[in-house]
Chains A and B, each alone.
Chain A
Amino acid sequence: GQQLNQSPQSMFIQEGEDVSMNCTSSSIFNTWLWYKQDPGEGPVLLIALYKAGELTSNGRLTAQFGITRKDSFLNISASIPSDVGIYFCAGANAGGTSYGKLTFGQGTILTVHP
């Protein structure tokens, strides 16, 4: 089946620094999603991308859908302590038996030092 490789696995940064993480896939996705999960909570949707090359921002977060449709990245600018958590990428395809199903990356654990 489809697999997503997410990197880095973990990051330790100082408050105020920018963060970048990415996901690559061996196959094409029609949709890329980025989620954040806080301890003891379910994942929360941050950004959804629907078109190859699309660049979308949500506050200090920016994500891009790769031209090849096999990759995506997420940037966080000027990190703050509440950015701490696990960030997951997820890919989805339309149609057939794959409709609505998400494939998740392994996650990036972000730690922000004040």
Chain B
Amino acid sequence: SAVISQKPSRDICQRGTSLTIQCQVDSQVTMMFWYRQQPGQSLTLIATANQGSEATYESGFVIDKFPISRPNLTFSTLTVSNMSPEDSSIYLCSVGGPGLAGHEQFFGPGTRLTVL
């Protein structure tokens, strides 16, 4: 399995500001994903981070609110823009794809975001 780290691990932000979350993997991976986990809830896929091209967003998530970068096969960032209290969640990156067995995905430790 891959070792995944995220920065920051947690943050408290003011309404209207933006936060960029970093995800670093210790090996090259084909696919990287970003999930949101609202308090007491399950995980919801935000987008697939594609290396060298624009991310693919799921229904209900847009690039202006959650811009994503993936400059290489080991790194991705998710920005939460113009934040509101409703954005308070845990944001998780995961990795998967042909380089890892089947559809198995491995998750980072998450970034716990609180918006005041």
Contacts and interface: CB of A to CB of B under 8 A. Distances in A.
A45 B43 contact: no
B4 to A, nearest CB: 8
B1 to A, nearest CB: 7
B112 interface: yes
A100 B103 contact: yes
A45 B33 contact: no
Interface string A76-114: 000000000000100010100100111011110000000
Interface string B72-116: 000000000000000000001010110001111111111010000
A92 B103 contact: yes
B59 A1 contact: yes
Interface string A38-67: 001111110010100000000000000000
The secondary-structure label for the interface of chain A is loop
Given A1-B59, A100-B31, A44 B101 contact: no
> Which interface class (under 10, 10 to 19, 20 to 34, 35 or more) fits B?
20 to 34
A101 B1 contact: no
A113 B103 CA distance: 34
Interface string B50-84: 00000010010000000000000000000000000
A30 B102 CA distance: 10
Contact of B43 (A1, A30, A88): A88
> Which interface class (under 10, 10 to 19, 20 to 34, 35 or more) fits A?
20 to 34
B45 A101 contact: yes
Contacts of A102: 33, 43, 45, 103, 105
Given A97-B56, A100-B31, A100-B33, 14 more contacts: A30-B103, A31-B102, A42-B4, A42-B94, A42-B109, A44-B107, A88-B42, A92-B103, A94-B103, A100-B103, A101-B33, A102-B33, A106-B41, A106-B42
Interface of A: 1, 30-31, 33, 35, 40-45, 48, 50, 88, 92, 94, 97, 100-102, 104-107
Top-6 shortest CB links A-B: A42-B107, A92-B103, A31-B103, A104-B42, A104-B43, A100-B31
